[in-house]
């Protein structure tokens, strides 16, 4: 979902760090993502990730539906 919304991986160590840049190449959003088993265990974590990405839950599921 992040890659399809203009984010790129800036770093991949313990966690991946996805960033989005504006037209002046300034970082506008940062979203850390665990390398774990890609499972978001709590609704709070999901909400924080969406907020960091500047996206809504509706947008997230819309992007998923487009993939299918």
Q: What residues does each domain of the chain span?
A: 3-67
Q: Which tokens in the block code for residue 27? A: 């970082």
pLDDT digits (tens, 9 = 90+) for 31-64: 988 776 666 777 888 888 889 999 899 988 888 8
- Cβ atoms of 64 and 54 within 8 Å: the answer is no
Q: What is the CATH number of domain 3-67?
A: 3.30.920.30
User: What is the model's pTM?
Assistant: 0.67
Sign for the CA dihedral angle at 39, 45, 54, 34 comes to: negative
Sorting pLDDT into bands at 50, 70 and 90, what band is 21? very high
């Amino acid at each position: 979902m992040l890659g399809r919304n203009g984010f790129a991986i800036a770093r991949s160590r313990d966690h991946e760090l996805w960033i989005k840049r504006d037209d002046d190449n300034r970082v506008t959003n940062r979203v850390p993502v665990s390398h774990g088993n890609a499972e978001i265990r709590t609704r709070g974590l999901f909400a924080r990730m969406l907020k960091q990405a500047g996206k809504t839950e509706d947008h997230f599921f819309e992007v998923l539906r487009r993939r299918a």
